Structure 1
Amino acid sequence: MNKTTNTNNCPVTATMALIGGRWKTIILYVLSSNTRRFGEIAARIPGISRKVLTEQLKELEADGLVNRQQYNEIPPRVEYSLTELGKTMTPILKDLATWGKKNLPVVKRPI
């Protein structure tokens, strides 16, 4: 039987549209353990440029996965955390990390 897949109704496609790409899953993983400032996130993801990190955080915020809290202080302080929807990704992210530790050569990087 020849069956075509309608990707518009595919839940995996919909999920990957939100978290796909090189950096979003890693950003979510970094935020899964704690609220973090921009510099902390950047330090934990050495390969990402500040421009790309800013863009990815804005997209994750627009998609309702990340919360951006700006404090009116001098100097200004901004913190990022997972929203309630974003927190529902935590078990999946932890499973990915566990799988990676078991099945891939480990590269020592702070995350």
Structure 2
Amino acid sequence: MKIRNDYTCPFEIVHDIIKGKWKTIIIFQMRSSSVSLSQLEKSIEGISQKMLLQQLNELRHFGLVNKANAPG
């Protein structure tokens, strides 16, 4: 994941962290409770397990999810 070094606005940081097709969908699916990897796979049409794990790892890197609610 490429993150810019210089920002003119805090929203640029947020954009860099959650940009892409899947991250906002994953965050939305995890909004109310802990979910398993298989539950996420079933609830997100078109995402592969490999892509899901990659996106969860990136979200975990920035502290948006943790292993308790994001297995992988």
When normalised by structure 1's length, the TM-score is: 0.55
Alignment of 1:61-100 (within 5 A): 61-69=60-68, 79-80=69-70
Structure 1, gaps ≥5 residues long: 1-6, 70-78, 82-111
- Post-superposition shift, 1:80? 2.2
Alignment of 1:24-43 (within 5 A): 24-43=23-42
Larger radius of gyration: 1
Paired residue total = 66
Separation of aligned partners in 2, 1:18 and 1:9: 15
- Post-superposition shift, 1:18? 1.0
Equivalent position amino acid for 1:14 in 2: I
When normalised by structure 2's length, the TM-score is: 0.83
Whose relative contact order is higher, 1 or 2, with alpha carbons under 8 Å and at least 6 apart?
A: 2
- Post-superposition shift, 1:46? 1.3
Higher strand share: 1
Separation of aligned partners in 2, 1:47 and 1:31: 17
Separation of aligned partners in 1, 2:18 and 2:36: 20
2:3 corresponds to: none
